[in-house]
């Protein structure tokens, strides 16, 4: 089972940003055929942005505990949302304890038998790492694309890497491009990679980190290489997907 943040952009171009989707179902089918396995169930979770709640996405996806425990957003980098407004923990609880069990039941699967990964980009990349750190009993893998480390800088890297479970029983993918917002991520991502290695994560076994030249911060770019993180996850030793 793959749980995707920013569900508006996953399947339907009519709800997607700039009318571009991740083409996630197509990638899942392609990679599953190559590996000779059944395609995973994909759950696309919409964020909470509305006209009445314009910063709903930020409230849902920002890692709540780090920001409420001292990590500061750089001035001008993140809109003025009060720490007490962050909803990341409630959002994660809704995914793991309401949405995923309900859908697994609807499609006749035992949630406990499924290998469960979480995927997201930008703030969704942060939310994916946070989800694995908070619920390592639920998720086996976090796929974090264009992780928006700029939201909290090195202290946010420290907080999220320190929150992660011990290596060997989990997997983490991280990646970014070289255009747009992604062009700014290199130094902090290299710092995250170093922290991961210091914590005992084995590169290209437990975790991997990729730079995609000429790739940007948009759905079209992520869709172009989505098969690679998908394959990284689906080649695990999990019982079922």
What is the mean pLDDT for each group of 10 consecutive residues in the chain (241 residues)? 97 90 96 96 95 93 96 71 92 98 97 97 98 98 97 97 94 97 97 97 95 96 97 71 52
Q: What is the reported pLDDT for 79?
A: 62
**Domain-embedded: residue 198:** yes
Question: What's the confidence (pLDDT) of residue 69?
Answer: 95
Q: Please indicate, yes or no, if residue 224 is contained in any of the structural domains.
A: yes
Q: What is the pLDDT of residue 238?
A: 41
Report pLDDT for 17.
Answer: 83
* Residue 10 token pair: 């996953």
- The DSSP line for 63-111 is -HHHHHTT--PPTTTS----GGG--HHHHHHHIIIIIHHHHHHHTT--G
User: Structurally, how many domains does the chain consist of?
Assistant: 1
- Residue 49 located in a structural domain: yes
pLDDT of residue 18: 84
Residue 105: give its domain's CATH number: 3.40.50.1820
Give the per-residue pLDDT at 76.
56
Domain of residue 138 covers 2-234
What pLDDT is recorded for position 237?
A: 47
CA separation, residue 145 to residues 9, 119, 208, 239 (Å): 14, 8, 11, 25
Question: Packing angle between helix 153-163 and helix 123-134, nearest 10 degrees?
Answer: 30
Please check whether residue 239 lies inside any domain of the structure: no
Per the domain annotation, does 37 fall within a domain?
yes
**What does pTM read for this prediction?**
0.95
In-domain check, residue 241: no
Task: Check residue 220 and give its pLDDT.
Answer: 94
Q: How many CB atoms lie within 10 A of CB 224?
A: 15
């Amino acid at each position: 089972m793959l749980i995707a943040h920013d569900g508006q952009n996953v399947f339907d171009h009519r709800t997607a940003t700039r009318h571009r989707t991740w083409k996630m179902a197509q990638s899942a089918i392609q990679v599953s055929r190559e590996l000779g396995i059944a395609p995973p169930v994909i759950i696309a979770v919409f964020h909470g942005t509305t006209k009445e709640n314009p910063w709903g996405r930020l409230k849902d996806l920002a890692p709540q505990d780090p920001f409420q425990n001292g990590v500061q957003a750089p001035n001008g980098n993140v809109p003025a949302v009060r720490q007490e407004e962050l909803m990341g923990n409630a959002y994660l609880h809704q995914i793991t304890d309401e949405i995923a069990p309900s859908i697994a039941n609807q499609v006749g699967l035992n949630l406990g038998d499924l290998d469960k990964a979480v995927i997201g980009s930008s703030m969704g990349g942060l939310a994916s790492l946070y989800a694995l750190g908070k619920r390592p009993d639920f998720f086996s893998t976090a796929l974090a694309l264009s992780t928006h480390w700029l939201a909290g800088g090195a202290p946010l890297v420290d907080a999220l890497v320190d929150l992660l479970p011990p290596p060997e029983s989990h997997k983490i993918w991280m990646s970014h491009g070289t255009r747009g917002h992604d062009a700014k991520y290199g130094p902090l991502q290299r710092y995250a990679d170093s922290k991961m290695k210091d914590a005992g994560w084995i590169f290209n076994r437990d975790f991997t980190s990729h730079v995609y030249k000429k790739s940007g911060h948009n759905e079209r770019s992520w869709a172009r290489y989505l098969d690679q993180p998908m394959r990284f996850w689906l080649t695990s030793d999990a019982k079922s997907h």
